[in-house]
């Protein structure tokens, strides 16, 4: 909206109030010069997810700004955001809202079936019928629906040494961003280690406990579940790997070994794949996982 339109609206409102002959006042634009330089494209607002905003130093009156810059370079925590009186600065607040929105989006959105088909991943589903039910009924995400069980029985290799499952969990981004850098290297690493690898597939609306039922259905020795973690502010791409040796109906969470924080800013996906291969070899050698692997 340009200045003339603003003045026309103001004049219309004042006329309705009985005010006439009001001299238009100049519209004052409040602009943060530092931030305006970051986005020269006047057709759209700058992307608050860009690195220049994530590392934006909002403390304008620091005694030594290099100290703040050094602190910010060593952490992704929200430091150096500055304030205006008791309130956060506008850029810091907008960044917070943008990151919060992104975190909510990655929980709510679904992995497209077309994306899975392009990567030749069989799709099965838990007992949750949609994302809303998945979020409100965690118990349904821990069990496979009847169609899913049938698809696994008909399409997956029986009794492999290692079974790999990919699941959206609580993060769409964790699956779509990390897939190409973790699943192919992981499968190749397992095969190069001389291990018999089962048919990888995708579990929609899955919870960690679902890997127990999958393991029992297929008779796999080691079961690996790559699943999206609950996102944090500004970090929605984190993946976890839950590994368990020969799960049963009596399996508990301490029986699992977990490698978490897999993403470009944490444990790189390719590096995580190598770590998981070594973990699988250890589990097969010791025939254990979780706390039993430490004994």
> What is the distance between the alpha carbons of residues 190 and 258, in angstroms, rounded to a whole number?
18
Q: Tell me whether residue 253 is annotated as binding.
A: no
Strands 222-228 and 162-167: parallel
Q: Tell me whether residue 208 is annotated as binding.
A: yes
> What is the distance between the alpha carbons of residues 186 and 214, in angstroms, rounded to a whole number?
19
Please answer whether residues 169 and 227 qualify as being in contact, where contact means their C-beta atoms are separated by less than 8 angstroms: yes
User: For residue 10, what are its two tokens?
Assistant: 């103001």
Please answer whether residues 180 and 144 qualify as being in contact, where contact means their C-beta atoms are separated by less than 8 angstroms: no
Phi-psi bin for 82: left (phi > 0), alpha (psi -120 to 50), beta?
left
Angle between helices 146-155 and 210-218 (to 10 degrees): 40
Q: Which residues are annotated as a binding site?
A: 208, 229
Q: Which residues are annotated as a binding site for adenosylcob(III)alamin?
A: 208, 229
């Amino acid at each position: 909206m340009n200045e003339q339109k603003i003045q026309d609206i103001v004049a219309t409102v004042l006329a309705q109030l009985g005010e006439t002959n009001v001299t238009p006042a100049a519209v004052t634009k409040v602009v943060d010069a530092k931030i305006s330089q970051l986005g020269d494209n006047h057709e759209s607002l700058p992307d608050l997810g860009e690195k220049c905003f994530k590392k934006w130093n909002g403390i304008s009156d620091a005694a030594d700004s290099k100290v703040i810059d050094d602190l910010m370079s060593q952490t992704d925590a929200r430091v150096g955001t500055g304030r205006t009186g008791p309130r956060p600065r506008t850029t810091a607040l907008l960044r917070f809202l943008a990151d919060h929105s992104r975190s909510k989006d990655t929980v709510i959105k679904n992995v497209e079936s077309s994306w899975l088909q392009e990567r030749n991943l069989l799709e099965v589903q838990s007992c949750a019928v949609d994302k809303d039910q998945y979020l409100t009924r965690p118990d349904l995400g821990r069990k496979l629906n009847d169609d899913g069980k049938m698809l696994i029985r008909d399409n997956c290799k029986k009794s492999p040494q290692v079974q790999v499952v990919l699941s959206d969990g609580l993060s769409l981004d964790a699956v779509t961003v990390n897939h190409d850098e973790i699943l192919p290297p992981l499968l190749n690493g397992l095969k190069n280690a001389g291990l018999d690898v089962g048919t990888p597939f995708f579990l929609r609306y899955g919870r960690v406990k679902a890997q127990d039922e999958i393991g029992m259905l297929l008779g796999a020795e080691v079961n690996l579940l790559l699943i999206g973690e609950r996102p944090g502010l500004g970090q929605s791409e984190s993946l976890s790997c839950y590994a368990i040796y020969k799960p049963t109906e009596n399996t508990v969470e301490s029986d699992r070994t977990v490698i978490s924080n897999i993403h470009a800013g944490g444990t790189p996906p390719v590096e995580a794949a190598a770590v998981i291969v070594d973990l699988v070899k250890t589990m097969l050698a010791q025939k254990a996982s979780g706390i039993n692997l430490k004994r």
